Amino acid sequence: MFFGKPNKISYKTEDELLLIKKSGDLLGRVHGLLSENIKEGVSTKYLNKAAHDFIKDHHGVPSFLNYRGYPATLCTSINETVVHGIPGDEYLRDGDIISIDCGVLLDGFHADSAYTYTVGNISEEKHRLLKATKESLFEGIKNAIAGNRVGDISFSIQHYVEKRGYSVVRDLVGHGVGRYLHEEPEVPNFGKRGNGHKLLKGMVLAIEPMINIGRRDVYHLSDGWTVKTSDGKPSAHYEHTVAIMNGKPEILTTFKYIKGEVE
Ligand code: CO
């Protein structure tokens, strides 16, 4: 989900990383709020309004709203929708999975994070997809350290999910994030070890595996945003904003406010 701006990698200072972490904390609390509100019968429009009002009440700006004409605060992607589902009159049903992606701008810096939630009781098949996708995000993050390359992140995600029989969406990728929602470099969820940009201290990356149960192919709806699996099978999406450091990656967004999460 990269729109190529700006075309140079920006390296953040310690102070800037702290600001992104603050945006990330507010974003984490948005996810916490969403997790409390997700249940059968709730509309995606309702969730969007709750998130929008919460961000505004905390003096933040929703990063996605009006971004390239995007009409909402959240992307709400149910079941076979991969990403960029537009909130509306769609009601959650028992057994659904819903990927919610959100960005927050606070004090000049963006944080970007996505999580796939469950509604009521989901199938074992969906449960396994969610687990593998979330774990693949953390496999990618483990490799997000200075001295590695982008391809080390990409490879580790791809390897983790393909070993379990899932497929990696290729049309959309992770990205640098900071003063802009989308910065260099692109961070694909597939690739080869040792390829791509060198990771250096101060880079901040949004790592975001989008993983399908079935085939990797997707198509775009005529609304200009919604991306769905071509085979109609479910897809999951988790995303963290991560700072590259020497030794250990630092995750600047958080799932810790999400009901039922242990972090
Ligand atoms: Co992103």
Q: 176 CA to middle of ligand 1, Å? A: 8
pTM score, whole prediction? 0.96
Ligand 1 centroid to residue 181 C-alpha, Å = 8
What is the tens place of the pLDDT at every residue in 63-103? Answer: 999 999 999 999 999 999 999 999 999 999 999 999 999 99
- What pLDDT was estimated at residue 1? 52
Q: How far is ligand 1, taken at its centre, from the CA of residue 39, in Å? A: 25
The pLDDT tens digits of the residues spanning 199-258 come to 999 999 999 999 999 999 999 999 999 999 999 999 999 999 999 999 999 999 999 999
Residue 247 · residue 205 · CB < 8 Å: no
Residue 133 above 60 pLDDT?
yes
| Cα 103 to ligand 1 centre (Å) | 8
Report the separation in Å between the CA atom of 172 and the middle of ligand 1, taken as the mean of its atom positions. Answer: 9
Residue 153 alpha carbon to ligand 1 centre in Å: 15
Q: How far is the CA of 205 from the centre of ligand 1 (A)?
A: 9
Alpha-carbon span 13 to 25, nearest angstrom: 18
Distance from the CA of 159 to the center of ligand 1, in angstroms? 21
Burial level of 193, CB count in 10 A (0-12/13-18/19+)? middle
CA of 127 to the centre of ligand 1 (A): 23
pLDDT band at 16 (very low <50, low <70, confident <90, very high): very high
Please report the pLDDT score of residue 33 as a whole number.
Answer: 98
User: Which residues have C-beta under 5 Å from ligand 1, the single-atom ion?
Assistant: 112, 206
Residue (of 75, 136, 67) closest to 101 by Cα position:
75
Burial class from Cβ neighbours inside 10 Å (0-12, 13-18, 19+) for residue 185 reads buried
What is the CA(252)–ligand 1 centre distance, in A? 13
What pLDDT, on the 0 to 100 scale, is given for residue 6?
59
Q: How far is the CA of 26 from the centre of ligand 1 (A)?
A: 16
Ligand 1 centre to CA of 208 (Å) is 6
Strand partners, 174: 187
Residue of 176, 168, 103 lying closest to 133 (CA atoms): 168
Helices (H), the chain: 14-37, 44-57, 124-142, 150-162
* Inter-CA distances, 196 with 26, 65, 148, 187, 189, Å: 32, 31, 10, 9, 12
Looking at this protein, which amino acid is placed at residue 99?
S
Ligand 1 centroid, distance to 43 Cα (angstroms): 23
- 132 or 1, higher pLDDT: 132
